[in-house]
Amino acid sequence: MPSHDARIIRGAAIPTAVAGVAAIATSAALAGGKGAIGALFAALLVIAFFGFGQYALDRLTRNNPQMMMAAGLVVYTTQILLVGIVLAVFKNTTLFDTKVFAFTLLGCVFVWTGFQVRAALKAKTFYVEPEKSEPADDKPDERTKPGRQS
């Protein structure tokens, strides 16, 4: 994995983990042990799904960067679909507090997405190779340009 992709994943995963820890602490205080378990599961789910999604996007576009937009849409749609499936499966569970789970999941998704955008903007990855500039002495003068008649 290129270093800028690893920086993007770290730039999103670390703040999401911090938000998850804050959600776990808040949930433990307000909703007890089941709330803490729900917040922990939600934070781990977001970090796993979105981290794997970024890794998959890197692998899909490594040899064909022109497919970035299509691959990004497919990966993001798949992530949201999988999160929806997990929500449907655990809708009536008694293992953890489902409301805490849902709110923590939503909050961690927003944190991940926001910090992923921030990390990508800070990476400053060129999508066009800049032209090399010529030294000032080698540039043709207006009087010596070919095709100009004196």
Residue 21, in any domain of the structure: yes
Q: Tell me how many domains the chain contains.
A: 1
**Contact at 8 Å (CB) between 96 and 37?**
yes
**Contact at 8 Å (CB) between 15 and 115?**
yes
Residue 147, in any domain of the structure: no
Residue 121 CA neighbour count, 13 Å, CB half = 6
Residue 100, in any domain of the structure: yes
Residue 77, in any domain of the structure: yes
Range of the domain at 118: 3-123
Residue 33, in any domain of the structure: yes
Residue 134, in any domain of the structure: no
Say how far apart CA 71 and CA 60 lie, in whole Å: 7
Residue 95 CA neighbour count, 13 Å, CB half = 11
Three-state secondary-structure class, residue 125? coil
Residue 141, in any domain of the structure: no
Residue 140 is predicted with a pLDDT of 59
Residue 107 is predicted with a pLDDT of 94
Residue 17 is predicted with a pLDDT of 94
| Amino acid sitting at position 91 | K
Residue 35 is predicted with a pLDDT of 92
**Mean pLDDT of successive 10-residue stretches along the chain, which has 150 residues:** 73 92 94 92 92 86 84 89 88 88 92 89 69 61 58
- How far lies 84's CA from each of 35, 49, 50, in Å? 20, 12, 14
Residue 130, in any domain of the structure: no
Residue 7 is predicted with a pLDDT of 82
Residue 80 is predicted with a pLDDT of 86
